[in-house]
Structure 1
Amino acid sequence: MPLHLLKLCVGADSVADLRAWTRMRRERQSGVHAHVTRMFPKRAEELLDGGSLYWVIKGQICARQKLIGIEPFVDSAGIKRCALQLDDEVVALRPRPHRAFQGWRYFEPAEAPPDLDATSSGLAEMPEALRRQLSELGLI
């Protein structure tokens, strides 16, 4: 069973912002899209067995990207870093509140909210701002 990562998406106000940022980064760089972090996950093998990076945007888990590689490297200042290589597709999720934290956390599959297209309630057609408000009210 895959293991996932959970991380704050700093600077994005919505899933649409994350998608635009991912698209922009993909156009600027050649090769695989990656998110750089300081620490290398000790459970990398489990993460690469179908795991995703789940994004917390404005206090809600609401998007994910499939992890396709994890590469350690040393940056130009000589500091060890880790590139979390991500699939370009940003998958919207059924929003779920989550408090702020630093770094990333391991995230068990049983805790992960479902993809929007996997729900039959019509949430995918609803505007993202409305989904966010309904989630904050505990209605979805």
Structure 2
Amino acid sequence: MIHMVKLCVGVASFEELESYRNERAHWWGADYGEDVHVHRTRMMPKRREEMEGVSSIYWVIAGQVLCRQQILRLAPYTDAEGKDYCDIIMAPDLIRTVPYPKRPFQGWRYLRPEDAPPDVGANENGNSMEIAADLARLGLI
């Protein structure tokens, strides 16, 4: 199994991603007829078989990994001009992770499970999230 990490360009917070995630699939005319979210990217992962149904995409927002979404499947897409893309079809739920700093990069990268930030527990509150974010910015977690 291998995960994916991707910059969430143009989004400044977890709440902002949450507020418009339902619209994303419609921007590209991607209709998979399910309660899913879709993100289109240029390259299909070579390790696709290791990802579908078991991996997550970890979203980098404002320089930190803040959340993840389960990858249900990866679908090839070809536009009207013949360009190939990859539609990342994800579960609709955003799962908060412990904030983890990540420098900017282009496209997406693989993320080994042992390097992925842990999910925030159900009993976490806003104060502990702020403390975790501060610790992450200092490089302590």
> Do the structures match in fold with TM over 0.5?
yes
Pairs aligned (count): 136
Does residue 126 of structure 1 match 2:121? no
Question: Structure 1 residue runs of 4+, over 2 Å off?
Answer: 23-32, 124-135, 137-140
Q: Is the 8 A contact 1:14 1:128 kept in 2?
A: no
2:81 to 74, 77, 80: 77
List runs of 5+ in structure 1 lacking aligned partners. Answer: none
- Please report how far the alpha carbon of residue 3 of structure 1 lies from its aligned counterpart in structure 2 after TM superposition: 1.0
Map residues 1-140 of structure 1 onto 2, 5 A cutoff: 2-25=1-24, 30=31, 31=33, 32-117=36-121, 122=124, 124-126=125-127, 131-138=132-139, 140=141
**Deviations along 1:56-97, whole A, 9 cap, x unmatched?**
111111110000010001012221111010110011100011
CA distance in 1, matches of 2:22, 2:11: 13
Q: Hey, what's the Cα distance between the residues in 2 that align with 1:6 and 1:33?
A: 16
- 1-structure distance, mates of 2:131, 2:24: 28
Question: What 5-or-longer segments of structure 2 have no aligned partner?
Answer: none
Please tell me whether the aligned partners of residues 25 and 38 of structure 2 are also in contact (alpha carbons under 8 angstroms): no
Q: Give the TM-score normalised by the residue count of structure 2.
A: 0.84
Aligned-pair CA distance for 1:23? 2.8
